[in-house]
Chains A and B, each alone.
Chain A
Amino acid sequence: MSSRLYPIFQKGNPQMRVFLPNFWMKMVRPQIDNAPKNKVQFVVHPGMSQFDVKSYLEKIYEVPVVHVRTYIQEGRYRRVPQKGYIVKDDDYKVAFVTLPKDTTFEFPNIFPEEKAQEVENEEKHMDILKENFKKHQQRNRLRPDVPGWFL
């Protein structure tokens, strides 16, 4: 694995082996609302083939895979805000993986409402503190030499 290039021919034609794969995969939320429950969508390393995706999931994550379909999504052409010139985002490869019939996978909601509520409460508390501090400053603006404990 000195070089990332795999030799085209090796004496004896041994089986292809990869010891340190540098492929990455990231799961994305399915674009369609009522997608089949045993279908999962990934964005994968652009060099990965369908066989690579299948063996990657089966060997590393030990997840049984029935079918894989991939396509390359063209990056968006967009205008840079305030500059005006057009840039193109990178292309990326999308893989649809079908799991066995009986298995289901639902994309979880990683932002639970309780945590969001907690953060909101903290922010409210901070706002109150800020307001109080402002009031304190406003009250003492004409007597800068007087210490804060003196009311």
Chain B
Amino acid sequence: MLRKLCSSLELKLYCRSATTVYSHAPTSTQFYRNPNCFQHNQAVIRGFQTSPQRHDLMEFFDVKKNWGETTIRSGRSWKLDELRIKSNSDLHKLWFILLKEKNMLLTMEEECKRETELFPSPERLDKVEESMENLETVVRERNRAFNLLETGETGEQPGTEEENFLGLQEYRQYNEHTVPKQENKPFLIAKRDEPKSSLKEKLWFITRFRRKQLFKRRQELRCHQYEVVQLLQKFPDLDVGALKEKYPDVNVDKYIERFWKEQAQGNLKSNK
């Protein structure tokens, strides 16, 4: 059991070390677990490793051995759960590592485009961006919790839903201004010039808009029903739960019942 756990940990850490903790990254703090640590009946021994610092403009380029390669192997992006257990300072360091990596990849991509060559492993850019997104959500979560405890407010940018000239609800975020509304000339001009419509006109639009949405929804439902029937004919023993999960708007039981009825009657299509 322990060995299993250990091997899985190693695998995970191998994957991670290949993604974001780069050898050329400055002040990178990578935690690795000693594979032999379980021999000493200790839960975790953490080794601390720092990579050599390299402050230079050459950080905008990939490591020299990767130049001209067709594929560059990398691990996966950082997950939310992994980032949640990190301290604030670690996240701060990781952010800058990711930022530098992103800059490097953008530079390499641009140069490849200029040379009309293929950019090797473009998924790296997506991975870095996903990690950055995840990191920011974790920071936001922490800020929310802190603000709720301290002030009772989330600290997010406030906003409201307002009805626009088409009669549709639109979310608008509040922004800070140095002058009040009545003295803000550009705002007043923009408000004066924005399109206006009467209630009758709004109703005219809204009825048509909703009808269109209804037709679209019906068409989608019909497509889903057709897909369910096709799947049942192709794979009669498929997992019903998964099917229901995939098509929540379709009455799957009805179609299953109908399908088996047809089978019992000797449906022409399936007995061919």
Contacts and interface: CB of A to CB of B under 8 A. Distances in A.
Interface of A: 1-3, 5, 7-9, 19-22, 24-29, 40, 43, 60-63, 105, 108, 110-112, 114-116, 119
B198 interface: no
B156 interface: yes
A111 B111 CA distance: 10
B108 interface: yes
B57 A105 contact: yes
B97 to A, nearest CB: 10
Contact of A8 (B56, B61, B99, B178): B178
B143 A2 contact: yes
Given A3-B157, A21-B99, A26 B107 contact: yes
Chain B facing A: main interface SS: helix
Contacts of B69: 115
B117 interface: yes
Contact of B67 (A8, A22, A60, A112): A112
A108 B69 CA distance: 15
Contacts of A8: 176-178
Interface in B109-159: 109-112, 114-115, 117, 132, 135-136, 139-140, 143-144, 147, 154-157
A61 B56 contact: yes
Contact of A24 (B103, B114, B117, B144): B103
Contacts of A108: 58, 61, 67
Chain A facing B: main interface SS: loop
Nearest to A28: B110
Interface residues of B, number: 45
Contacts of A5: 157, 175-176
Given A5-B157, A24-B99, A63-B56, A112 B61 contact: no
Given A19-B92, A25-B103, A1 B143 contact: yes
A110 B60 CA distance: 12
Contacts of A116: 68
Contacts of B154: 2
Contacts of A110: 61-62, 67-68, 108, 111-112
B78 interface: no
B84 interface: no
A23 B57 CA distance: 17
B139 A1 contact: yes
Contact of B136 (A7, A9, A20): A20
Contact of B96 (A26, A60, A63): A60
Interface in B157-184: 157, 175-178
Contacts of A61: 55-57, 59, 100
A149 B96 CA distance: 59
A116 B69 CA distance: 9
Contacts of A62: 55
Nearest to B88: A19
B95 interface: yes
